[in-house]
Amino acid sequence: MADVSVRPATADDVTELARIQLDTWRLAYQTVLPAQILQGLTTEEIAASWHAAVTAPPSPSYSVLVAQEGQVRVGFAAFGPDADRQPQDPDPQRTAAISMLLVEPRWGRRGHGSRLLAAVADLTRPAGVNRLVAWVPVADTASLQFYRSAGWEADGLRRDLDTGVGTVTELRLHTAIDD
């Protein structure tokens, strides 16, 4: 059995988080994000964003987790309060949002994504969270399938994000987490 784990991210992880994001997006997001966006991304810029998220999170409820296999960082999840609350949302104060969950494709189908989802639920539940949401690009069929296989479903909300060189349409997925 492989030595697998999920743990809080530290400043020492940010370069690897950036590499994972960049490699994953360049491979798996070719049909999701405009080519100009993918080509313009740099590890240094992404690492700076992750450094801020890990060392000075926007709120005490915001966190970044790292999935590992052995000593290799293979994925991560970032989550926190739902910044896109909608008037019709049930109990918005008890909802948390996953802003990003990525597992490098070469490490896929080994349970890392499921472990990250479970860790997010385990860490948010004690704070009274009973619902998780995530915005997922419509063109990211692998992520949509992953979330749906974990019991998540679309809640009917869609949004279009203007990237400056194209539009990315996203669906909001949600799931209930039990005590």
| Angle (CA) 48 113 140, round 5° | 75
φ, ψ for residue 139, nearest 5 deg: -75, -10
Q: What is the pLDDT of residues 91-112, one digit of tens each?
A: 888 999 999 999 998 867 778 9
In this prediction, residue 28 carries a pLDDT of: 85
pLDDT above 90 as % of the chain:
71
CATH number of 4-176: 3.40.630.30
- Return d(Cα 49, Cα 18) in angstroms, integer: 9
Give the mean pLDDT of 47-65. Answer: 95
Structure tokens given for 150: 């974990």
- Return d(Cα 40, Cα 159) in angstroms, integer: 23
- Return d(Cα 39, Cα 72) in angstroms, integer: 26
Q: How confident is the model at residue 55 (pLDDT cuts 50, 70, 90)?
A: very high
Q: What is the pLDDT of residues 58-73, one digit of tens each?
A: 989 999 999 999 999 9
In this prediction, residue 31 carries a pLDDT of: 86
CA 41 from chain center: how many Å?
18
- Return d(Cα 19, Cα 66) in angstroms, integer: 13
Q: Are 133 and 172 in contact (CB under 8 A)?
A: yes
Question: Length of the chain, please?
Answer: 179
- Does residue 39 surpass a pLDDT of 60? yes
Q: Is 111 helix (H, G, I), strand (E, B) or coil?
A: coil
- Does residue 85 surpass a pLDDT of 90? no
- Does residue 179 surpass a pLDDT of 70? no
β-bridge partners, 5: 68
pLDDT above 70 as % of the chain:
98
Q: Model pTM?
A: 0.92
